[in-house]
Structures are given as structure tokens and as C-alpha cells.
Structure 1
Amino acid sequence: MSYTEELGIRAKAAEAAAAGASTLQKNNALAAISKALIANKELIIAENAKDIVNAKANGMTEAKQDRLKLDEKRIEGIAKGVDELIALADPIGEIIGGGCRPNGLQIIKTRVPLGVIGIIFESRPNVTVDAAALCLKSGNVVILKGGKEAINSNVCLGNIMRKAIEEAGLPADMIQVVDKTDRETTTELMRLNGYVDVIIPRGSANLIQAVVKNATVPVIETGAGNCHVYIDDSADLGMAVEITDNAKTQRPSVCNAIESLLVHKDIADKFLPLIAERFKQHDVKIYGCDKTISILGDTVEKSTETEYATEFNDFIIAVKVVDNIDEAIAHIRKYSTRHSECIVTSTLENAQKFQKQVDAAAVYVNASTRFTDGGEFGFGAEIGISTQKLHARGPMGLTELTTVKYLINGNGQIR
């Protein structure tokens, strides 16, 4: 029996208890996790420090090290996110449809857990807690497979949570963290049919596509974020600078940060120097089209197809001056990963056109793409941002971790 099969058997053994747990039991377990995270802050930071040392030795960029790092403030934030889940409505058992048939059969459509969820992710150890807590609240069992860069942090967090929920009266195996870092184990998890009901990848485009192409278990595809902001000719330039700067530099290593900036030709001469000056504060590297270079000079490197198609996850941006909104939309449709897109405009017609014609999970008018987040949308922590169109799209909260079951009650009907 393989290592992953053992995980699967243990997960299936915990499935009934997870699905049958009351809201009070699940909330008590979440409260225990939150309390345990705070009580073990020093241990978590010590284990995370090992991952940071390895990251530096392996040449990880500072932006990606930021994704990896856990300090006291971030641990408190993670614990707070768990506490916030307690206040959210439990989706399990919710009646979402049904009625009485002419033959007297009563049919009820209700929400139930997906079952056993496998989550494959990179870098960010907060995902370990966010995902586990969401799965617990929604009555699911979870097997978590993080990247090797966060192995010490992830195993530590997993052990803390397992002990906490066991002490709260739920099976520890509702949460399992894979403690192996080899690719073979990841591949086996993707193909653990019969044990795992769905796989959710979180991370780079390469990771997501590797899972989509190699998994035999059904996959909910979460998105790499090649996101754009388009500055329309009617935009308030002050607002445009603030939105663009926030969307690029507030936390560039996350999937809802923008990677490309599109600017209408009629305001490019005014806007580009303003945003370039702001970008200097963060040492943002700019790739640009010929028109951008003619305005900003040799501080800009020539952009190519590669730059427009790249999710940098860093203080880097690709800029293009466009003739009109139609060219901006065409560019986005070509290069977007269908995650989050934004227009800054004062024209209602263009705002509506952009929101109708841009195909993405979240389409913004006059607001930063950094709001594409389960917490910001009021869902609590999120399991990921789905960029596909079936089952779930956008930030995936508790409801998106459920499926439906039909409950049929009769009094002897036959067909």
C-alpha cells in the first residue's frame, strides 16, 4: 500500500464524522484551532524560519519570500480568519429547492459536503490553515499538499490543527498534511480516485496546468492571475494612479495583483509619467510598447509577447498604449487568465461595455483588483479563486465547497 493510499483510507474513514458533525461541533473545533495557533506562535515562527533560510539559499525572490514568511502579526491574522468562519452560516443542510410532486413524493434539494478534497498549493503556508478551516466548516475532509519551500511550516501547522480538532471531539484525520515533497507523491494524490473526490490546485500557472493535465480526479481550476487595469480616456487621473499603484505594488506576489497596464492614447502623455513616478517608490521594472518608451524614455525596456503573457508575481509590469477601449478589451481577451480585470473610467457606457465584454471571474470599474478575495467579498477565508466556469467561479468560500443531494420522501409510491 502506498503512502498516498494510506492517507486516502484515513480520509475516507473520517468522512462520515465530518459530514455528520453539527454546526456547534465544527465551530468548537475552529475555535480550538484559532486558540492553538496563538498558543503556538513561537513554534510556528521557528519552523517557518527554517523555510525562509532554505528559500534564501535557493535564490527565491524577496516578493516570494514575503508570501512564505509568517510572523506574529500574520499568525494572528490567520487565527482571526478562523474565528471569522465561526460567525458564518453553516451551508450544510441548507434547503435550496424542492417541492411536492403530483404523486405525493416530497423532494428536497439540500447542500452536502463534497467529501474528501485534495489541495495542492505553493509557497503560502497560510493556505494550510485557511483551506483546512474552510473544509472543516463545510463538513469536508482535506488532504493538503504544499510545496517543498514551506514544508516545515505546513507540517507544523497541520500538527497543531490535528491536535486541536481531536481535543474538540472530531477525528484528527479530517485534516492531513502530506509530509513528503517529491513529485511522485503529488502525482499519486492527483490520481487517488476512490479516495479523493476533487482536487483544487493553488499556485503558479505551471502548477495549475500540471494538475489539470495529469489528474484523473476531478479538478476545480483556480487561477493564475495575469490581471490588467485599463485607463480609459475619461479616467480621473488621480484615481487611476491610486488604483494602479495599489493593484501592482500593495502585494505583487499574489494572484489578484495586476501584471499589465493598458492606457488610452489620448491620456498616455499625462498619465504614464504620473504612474512611473509612483512606481519609482517601489522600484517597479517597466516593460513597454514603443509609445510607452517614447513617453518615459530609456527607463523602460521593450515589451514582447512574453511580457504580456507573464504573471510576474514581482515588482514588474508590462505597459501598452492602446487606441481605444476595443483594443484594450481585445488585448485582455488574448492574454488574460480570466481572473480579475479593471477599467478606470468616468464614462458609464464604457464601464458597462467593459464589464459585459471582458471574460473574467471578477470585472472591476474604478476599484483595485486586490479586492478579489474571499474575505473582502464577505465569504471568510477562501479556498482559492476559480477561473473556470463549471461548479464555481471567483473566490471560493463555504458554499463552493458543497454539492447537492436530493432527499425524497414517500408513502409507498412505485413507478
Structure 2
Amino acid sequence: MVVTGRPLKRMKRRVTADLHDFLTFPSSSSSSSSSVDCKDGLSGGPFRTRVREFLARNALHPPPSSLFPHLMTWQMLFRVGDQTDGPDSLPSVVCLDVVEEDVTRSRSLYCDQCRVVGWSGHPVCAKRFHFIIKADGSSIGGYHKPCMCCGDVLHLSESKCKSCNHVTSTDDVEDWVFNQLENTTHLLHGVVHSNGYGHLLRVNGREGGSRVLSGCHIMDFWDRLCKLLGVRKVSVMDVSKKYGLEYRLLHAITKGGPWYGEWGYEFGAGSFALTFDAYKMAVESLSSLPLSILLSQGQEPCTRLQDMISHYQSFAKCELVNIRDLFCFLMSLIHDAHKSSSGVDDIACKKSRACTSAVLWSFAGSDIERVEEAMFRVLRAVSGSNWVSCRALRGAVCKVGPPELLDYCLGKLGGKFAADGIVVKARCNPESGALEYSVSHV
């Protein structure tokens, strides 16, 4: 296809070049553009004034949002530096949804996060603003929504699904939008009340399913955005994990505070009336715990933990004296390993994309559907909330299709909807690191 004498792919690249860079937005360099995005470009005033001006200047308000005046949705697109994605090497694009929720017509009038953090004495605000980046890259305010019955994509103008003949009502679409506000898989979900107090509900980096954005990239963006909009205070409940461990504990041992502290977040409240002084004392006591008390002191036989500590002490360039020294050394090893393997990963990704294209060309859509349906049957047969490993699932359907097709379907299985209203969930086992699948009803 040719547009004005140029290939379509080149046209896409020219359009994405006009998008703001997610990694630097908002920056002082953007002040020279027609849509000023730096802090000096917004008039002074409280958050409720700045967010209106910000949306009017930068965001796209799609017509379908008018279906729900109490859930107005704006959309902003960003390019991610010079990164590319997909077999055509098109620039990576991130979609930010800003949902303005009318609290008077909301399904949850009172804010649970305010109650937990101790802000329940604040007057109830009339508006909440949700800032969301979906994991699948789509937009809440777009023209397409999934069928509530089979999961197939429908245009908003279509009320009847062509696959299962289910009639989607306006209430169904509204339910879907509200469910997006409670979804825990978003790469970013922050909510700010019109009084300027907000809550960071979700940050999912690469370990949470992001392909191009790390957790630090998302937090940097959120931090700059809050400063631009004049957000007064933001709370966050630190439940993040890293390498199967509670990251608030791991980061506190190595850095002396939580990971969110890199962006100015401080200890607010702990469980069971834990005070800030008690928290700091516990972190310092645990970090300074000498390794010598964990070693065998000449006793035999040595445990696996003692052997592991001695192993890392033997080839560390500096002496490992306490728990903090040991974990800092381990984190540096992991960081160096990831850094050295980045080039290998890039080559592997290119090969993977080439293999994926070959699979799509070699097999018809009916072949893929047949394999996916076989996988659905296996997962349905597993009772309760049990998880099935990728290896076990592949073995159960090994006779349905060739290995290449099985690998392709397994890679795309997470998030798939079945005809009976179930969705496939995927996760990495926190202990073994193996990929696992399970199903649940929508």
C-alpha cells in the first residue's frame, strides 16, 4: 500500500516521530513545541486546575467516551526513546489513559486507600483521575471492546458478537470499564483525587509483563507527571517482589530503604502500629547482622546455607562481613549478568520474531485454534486454582500439533479468552521460575 507515494511503514515512522518521548516527558526541551508540556507551560494553581489544562493541551478525547459521561477517558500516545518492536521494527508506542471518574456516580464512593493511609478525614472529592498504562498496549477509551461472553474483539457500534451471538449492552461495556479500574495487571495505575492527594496502585515493569518499559522507567515518568500536575502527596503500598523475595525487604537491606524511596517516598505507616524509628532500627539490625554467626565455626557437616555463604566469600573482591555486604554483592552479580546478556537477548528476540512469522505462514488459523482449544480443555480439567507448568501442558497436547506450533501457542496463551467465559492466567513460579498457566472465570 502506498500513501502519497511513500510506503505505509515510512508514514508510521514519521507519525511516531512527532510523539513525546516517554523516557523524558515532560522535559524542558518540550517548551519549544506548540503544546507546551513543561512545568512552566502550565498555569499555576492546584491539581484540579492543572490537570484540566494538561489534558486540554496534550490528550486526545475519543468520541466513544461520551457514552459514559461519568467515566470520561482521555488518551495520550508516547514513543519509547528509539526502541523498536515487532517484526517490522516499528517504534515502540505506549498509550496512557486518563480516566476522569465522577465519584457521585461511582460504584465505590469512599476511597479504601485513603482509609488505610489515614486520610479518611479528608472531604470526599467529586472527581478522581486514573492514570493507566495497560499491559496489552491498548486503550480503555478506544473503539473496540471484548465480547463479555467469548472475548472476541467488537467495535463499539456492534451490539451483537459475530462469534457467539451474544448481545452486548451498554451496561456490559460500562462493567468492562469499571473492571479496568480494578485490574491488577496494568503497567501503571495511579489515581489522584481532585484535592491533589493520590495513590500509586500498580507498577509492573519487565517482571510484571512489560516488554519495553522497566519499573524505573515507569516510576520516573510517574514522578515527573506528578510534579507537573502539582500533586500534593502520593501514597503507595509496597507489595513488590524481586527474584521471589519481598523487594521492600531486599532493597532495605542493600540500600537502607524501600525501592520507592529512590523517588522520595518515605515510611508512612507499618502494620500493628510499627513506628518509623522501629522500622529503621529493624532494617539496621538485620543489615548489620554478621555472617560469622551463620557459619559453622568449625563444626561439621556444613549446611547448604553455610556452603553458599562461604562460596561467595571466596571469590568476592572485598570482604563480606555482614548481611548487607552479601546481598549487595549478589545484586551486583545479577546486574552484571543481565547487562552482559542483553546483546544475546536482542539476537534471540530477532530469531524469535522470525520463527513466529514462519509459524503464522506455515499453519492456518484453524490449526492454531485447534491447539488452543486442546490447551483450554487441559486447563479446565485441573480443578480449583491449581497451576499447570508449561512443560506439563505442552506434554499433554504434544500430539495435537508440531512442536513449533505448540511453542507458538504457549507463548500467546496468557490472557486468552475461551468461549465459556474463562480467561487464561500466566505466571512465573516464584520458587522454580518456570512458566505456569491457570484459568479463571471473568
- TM-score w.r.t. the length of structure 1 is 0.25
Largest Rg, 1 or 2: 2
- Structure with more relative contact order (C-alpha pairs < 8 Å, separation 6 or more): 1
Going by fraction, where is helix more abundant, 1 or 2? 1
| TM-score normalized by the length of structure 2 | 0.24
